Amino acid sequence: MKKLFTIFVAAAAISAAAHATTAFTDAKDAVDYRQSAFTMIRHNTGDIGEMLQGKVPFDAKRVQQRTDALAALAPLPWPAFSTPGTESGGGDAKPEIWADFKDFTAKADKFQLDAKALQTAAQSGDQAKIKAAFAAFRGNCKACHDKYKAD
Ligand code: HEC
Protein backbone atom coordinates (compact mmCIF):
# COMPACT_ATOMS: atom_id res chain seq x y z
CA MET A 1 0.00 0.00 0.00
CA LYS A 2 2.77 2.36 0.99
CA LYS A 3 4.62 1.50 -2.21
CA LEU A 4 1.52 2.16 -4.29
CA PHE A 5 1.14 5.55 -2.65
CA THR A 6 4.77 6.38 -3.44
CA ILE A 7 4.23 5.44 -7.06
CA PHE A 8 1.13 7.59 -7.16
CA VAL A 9 2.98 10.61 -5.76
CA ALA A 10 5.85 10.09 -8.19
CA ALA A 11 3.41 9.86 -11.11
CA ALA A 12 1.64 13.02 -9.98
CA ALA A 13 4.98 14.83 -9.76
CA ILE A 14 5.93 13.73 -13.28
CA SER A 15 2.58 14.78 -14.66
CA ALA A 16 2.84 18.16 -12.91
CA ALA A 17 6.27 18.62 -14.48
CA ALA A 18 4.87 17.72 -17.91
CA HIS A 19 2.13 20.29 -17.47
CA ALA A 20 4.59 22.97 -16.45
CA THR A 21 6.27 22.77 -19.85
CA THR A 22 3.09 22.51 -21.92
CA ALA A 23 2.55 25.55 -24.08
CA PHE A 24 5.02 27.74 -22.27
CA THR A 25 8.57 26.51 -22.69
CA ASP A 26 8.49 24.04 -25.57
CA ALA A 27 7.77 25.43 -29.05
CA LYS A 28 6.19 22.29 -30.45
CA ASP A 29 3.96 21.88 -27.41
CA ALA A 30 2.93 25.50 -27.70
CA VAL A 31 1.87 25.01 -31.34
CA ASP A 32 -0.05 21.80 -30.44
CA TYR A 33 -1.71 23.58 -27.56
CA ARG A 34 -2.97 26.56 -29.54
CA GLN A 35 -4.02 24.41 -32.51
CA SER A 36 -6.00 22.16 -30.17
CA ALA A 37 -7.72 25.18 -28.66
CA PHE A 38 -8.59 26.49 -32.15
CA THR A 39 -9.99 23.08 -33.12
CA MET A 40 -12.32 23.13 -30.11
CA ILE A 41 -13.29 26.71 -30.94
CA ARG A 42 -14.11 25.66 -34.52
CA HIS A 43 -16.35 22.76 -33.40
CA ASN A 44 -18.33 24.90 -31.00
CA THR A 45 -18.63 27.79 -33.45
CA GLY A 46 -19.68 25.49 -36.29
CA ASP A 47 -22.48 23.91 -34.30
CA ILE A 48 -24.00 27.28 -33.36
CA GLY A 49 -23.67 28.41 -36.99
CA GLU A 50 -25.55 25.37 -38.26
CA MET A 51 -28.34 25.91 -35.75
CA LEU A 52 -28.69 29.56 -36.73
CA GLN A 53 -28.76 28.63 -40.42
CA GLY A 54 -31.48 26.05 -39.73
CA LYS A 55 -29.29 23.16 -40.90
CA VAL A 56 -29.96 21.50 -37.56
CA PRO A 57 -32.86 22.36 -35.20
CA PHE A 58 -32.30 25.36 -32.94
CA ASP A 59 -31.80 24.30 -29.35
CA ALA A 60 -31.46 27.23 -26.94
CA LYS A 61 -29.94 25.07 -24.20
CA ARG A 62 -27.27 23.69 -26.53
CA VAL A 63 -26.44 27.17 -27.81
CA GLN A 64 -25.89 28.19 -24.19
CA GLN A 65 -23.60 25.23 -23.60
CA ARG A 66 -21.65 26.01 -26.78
CA THR A 67 -21.23 29.67 -25.87
CA ASP A 68 -20.17 28.72 -22.32
CA ALA A 69 -17.50 26.54 -23.91
CA LEU A 70 -16.44 29.35 -26.28
CA ALA A 71 -16.15 31.85 -23.43
CA ALA A 72 -13.86 29.36 -21.66
CA LEU A 73 -11.87 28.49 -24.80
CA ALA A 74 -11.41 32.02 -26.15
CA PRO A 75 -8.56 32.97 -23.75
CA LEU A 76 -6.60 29.74 -24.31
CA PRO A 77 -4.59 30.06 -27.56
CA TRP A 78 -2.86 33.37 -26.90
CA PRO A 79 -0.27 32.60 -24.18
CA ALA A 80 1.02 29.87 -26.52
CA PHE A 81 2.03 32.58 -29.02
CA SER A 82 4.34 34.19 -26.48
CA THR A 83 6.57 31.16 -26.17
CA PRO A 84 9.99 31.97 -27.65
CA GLY A 85 10.66 30.00 -30.82
CA THR A 86 7.02 29.24 -31.60
CA GLU A 87 7.43 31.23 -34.82
CA SER A 88 9.38 28.24 -36.10
CA GLY A 89 7.41 25.50 -34.31
CA GLY A 90 5.53 24.47 -37.45
CA GLY A 91 1.88 25.24 -38.00
CA ASP A 92 0.23 28.05 -39.93
CA ALA A 93 1.08 31.06 -37.81
CA LYS A 94 2.59 33.79 -40.00
CA PRO A 95 5.69 35.76 -38.95
CA GLU A 96 3.56 38.93 -39.24
CA ILE A 97 2.17 38.02 -35.78
CA TRP A 98 5.48 38.73 -34.08
CA ALA A 99 6.22 41.69 -36.35
CA ASP A 100 3.08 43.39 -34.99
CA PHE A 101 2.31 41.56 -31.78
CA LYS A 102 0.37 44.53 -30.41
CA ASP A 103 -2.16 44.37 -33.23
CA PHE A 104 -2.39 40.59 -32.96
CA THR A 105 -3.04 40.86 -29.22
CA ALA A 106 -5.67 43.55 -29.79
CA LYS A 107 -7.48 41.19 -32.19
CA ALA A 108 -7.23 38.37 -29.64
CA ASP A 109 -8.65 40.65 -26.93
CA LYS A 110 -11.59 41.69 -29.09
CA PHE A 111 -12.28 38.03 -29.87
CA GLN A 112 -12.50 37.27 -26.14
CA LEU A 113 -14.82 40.21 -25.46
CA ASP A 114 -17.10 39.12 -28.31
CA ALA A 115 -17.13 35.55 -26.95
CA LYS A 116 -18.37 36.93 -23.61
CA ALA A 117 -21.00 39.05 -25.37
CA LEU A 118 -22.17 35.98 -27.30
CA GLN A 119 -22.46 34.04 -24.04
CA THR A 120 -24.60 36.83 -22.57
CA ALA A 121 -26.80 36.90 -25.67
CA ALA A 122 -27.26 33.13 -25.48
CA GLN A 123 -28.43 33.42 -21.88
CA SER A 124 -31.19 35.79 -23.04
CA GLY A 125 -32.54 33.06 -25.34
CA ASP A 126 -33.42 35.77 -27.88
CA GLN A 127 -32.56 34.42 -31.33
CA ALA A 128 -32.19 37.87 -32.94
CA LYS A 129 -29.72 38.90 -30.23
CA ILE A 130 -27.84 35.63 -30.57
CA LYS A 131 -27.62 36.04 -34.35
CA ALA A 132 -26.20 39.56 -34.08
CA ALA A 133 -23.69 38.57 -31.39
CA PHE A 134 -22.69 35.47 -33.35
CA ALA A 135 -22.05 37.49 -36.52
CA ALA A 136 -19.77 39.84 -34.55
CA PHE A 137 -17.99 36.92 -32.90
CA ARG A 138 -17.60 35.04 -36.18
CA GLY A 139 -16.11 38.10 -37.89
CA ASN A 140 -13.04 37.82 -35.67
CA CYS A 141 -11.92 34.56 -37.26
CA LYS A 142 -11.51 35.90 -40.78
CA ALA A 143 -10.23 39.30 -39.62
CA CYS A 144 -7.32 37.58 -37.90
CA HIS A 145 -6.75 34.64 -40.26
CA ASP A 146 -6.52 36.87 -43.36
CA LYS A 147 -3.55 38.65 -41.85
CA TYR A 148 -1.94 36.15 -39.53
CA LYS A 149 -2.72 32.60 -40.63
CA ALA A 150 -1.20 30.87 -43.67
CA ASP A 151 -3.63 29.45 -46.32
C1 HEC B 1 -6.37 36.93 -33.18
C2 HEC B 1 -6.19 35.93 -34.20
C3 HEC B 1 -7.14 34.78 -34.39
C4 HEC B 1 -8.50 34.73 -34.15
C5 HEC B 1 -9.41 35.81 -33.60
C6 HEC B 1 -8.92 33.40 -34.55
N7 HEC B 1 -7.87 32.67 -35.00
FE8 HEC B 1 -7.91 30.77 -35.68
N9 HEC B 1 -5.90 30.78 -35.89
C10 HEC B 1 -5.09 31.87 -35.72
C11 HEC B 1 -3.71 31.50 -36.01
C12 HEC B 1 -2.51 32.41 -35.94
C13 HEC B 1 -3.73 30.15 -36.37
C14 HEC B 1 -2.52 29.26 -36.74
C15 HEC B 1 -2.02 28.60 -35.47
C16 HEC B 1 -0.83 27.70 -35.68
O17 HEC B 1 -0.86 26.86 -36.63
O18 HEC B 1 0.14 27.82 -34.92
C19 HEC B 1 -5.13 29.71 -36.28
C20 HEC B 1 -5.55 28.43 -36.55
C21 HEC B 1 -6.88 28.03 -36.56
C22 HEC B 1 -7.33 26.69 -36.90
C23 HEC B 1 -6.44 25.52 -37.35
C24 HEC B 1 -6.00 24.70 -36.14
C25 HEC B 1 -5.08 23.56 -36.55
O26 HEC B 1 -5.28 22.44 -36.06
O27 HEC B 1 -4.14 23.78 -37.33
C28 HEC B 1 -8.69 26.70 -36.80
C29 HEC B 1 -9.64 25.52 -37.07
C30 HEC B 1 -9.09 28.03 -36.37
N31 HEC B 1 -7.96 28.82 -36.23
C32 HEC B 1 -10.38 28.42 -36.17
C33 HEC B 1 -10.76 29.69 -35.72
C34 HEC B 1 -12.13 30.10 -35.54
C35 HEC B 1 -13.36 29.25 -35.86
C36 HEC B 1 -12.10 31.37 -35.07
C37 HEC B 1 -13.23 32.28 -34.75
C38 HEC B 1 -14.38 31.78 -34.04
C39 HEC B 1 -10.69 31.75 -34.96
N40 HEC B 1 -9.92 30.71 -35.37
C41 HEC B 1 -10.24 32.98 -34.48
C42 HEC B 1 -5.47 33.12 -35.32
C43 HEC B 1 -6.76 33.48 -34.93
CB-based contacts of 137-145 (< 8 A; 24+ apart in sequence): 137/45, 137/70, 137/111, 138/45, 138/49, 140/107, 140/110, 140/111, 140/114, 141/45, 143/107, 144/104, 144/107, 144/108, 144/111
Q: Is 23 in the pocket of ligand 1 (CB under 6 A)?
A: no
Nearest protein CA to atom 2 of ligand 1, as residue: 144
Look at the chain and report how many structural domains it folds into.
1
pTM metric for this prediction:
0.87
Q: Is 22 in the pocket of ligand 1 (CB under 6 A)?
A: no
Q: Which CATH number do you get for residue 22?
A: 1.20.120.10
- Given this model, what pLDDT does residue 2 score? 56
Q: Is 28 in the pocket of ligand 1 (CB under 6 A)?
A: no
Distance 13 CA to ligand 1 centre (A): 32
Give pLDDT tens digits for 43-100.
999 999 999 999 999 999 999 999 999 999 999 999 999 877 777 667 899 999 999 9
Query: Which residues constitute the domain of residue 129?
Result: 2-148
